[in-house]
Structure 1
Amino acid sequence: MNHKPLAFRMRPKKIEDILGQEHLVGDNKIIYRMVRAKQLTSMILYGPPGIGKTSIATAIAGSTNTKFRSLNAVVHNKKDMEIAVEEAKMSGQLILILDEVHRLDKAKQDFLLPHLESGLLILIGATTSNPYHAINPAIRSRCQIFELKPLAPDDIKHALLRAVTDKENGLGLYDVAIDDEALSHFAIGCGGDVRSALNALELAVRSTEADCKDEIKITLSIAEECLQKKSFSHDKNGDGHYDVLSAFQKSIRGSDVNAALHYLGRLVEAGDMISICRRLVVIAYEDIGLASPQAGPRTLAAVQAAERLGFPEARIPLANAVIELCLSPKSNSAIVAIDQALSDIRKGLSGEVPDHLRDAHYAGAKKLNRGIGYQYPHDYESGWVAQQYLPSSLKSKKYYTPKHTGKFEQAIAQIYSNLQNKK
Structure 2
Amino acid sequence: MPRALVSFTSLYAATLLMLLGSGLLSTYLALRLSANEVADIWIGSLMAANYLGLVIGGKLGHKLIARVGHVRAYVACGGLVTAAVLLHGLIDNLGAWFVLRLLVGLCMMCQYMVIESWLNEQADSQQRGMVFSGYMAAVYLGLVLGQLALGLESGLGIEVLLWVAICFALALVPVAVTRRMHPAPLVPAPLEPLFFVKRIPQSLITVAVSGLVTGAFYGLGPVYASAAGLDTAQVGQFMGVCILAGLVAQWPLGKLSDRIDRARLIRYNALLLLLACVPLLLIKEPGFLLLLLMAFAIGLLQFTLYPLAVALANDHVEAERRVSLTAMLLVTFALGACVGPLLVGGLMAFFGNNTLYGFSLVCAALLALLIRPQAVTGEHQVAEAPLQHQGMPPLIGSSPLVAALDPRVDEAVVQEQMVDQQPPAS
TM normalised by structure 2 equals: 0.21
TM normalised by structure 1 equals: 0.21
Question: Going by fraction, where is helix more abundant, 1 or 2?
Answer: 2
**RCO greater where, 1 or 2, for CA within 8 Å and sep 6 or more?**
2
Question: Going by fraction, where is strand more abundant, 1 or 2?
Answer: 1
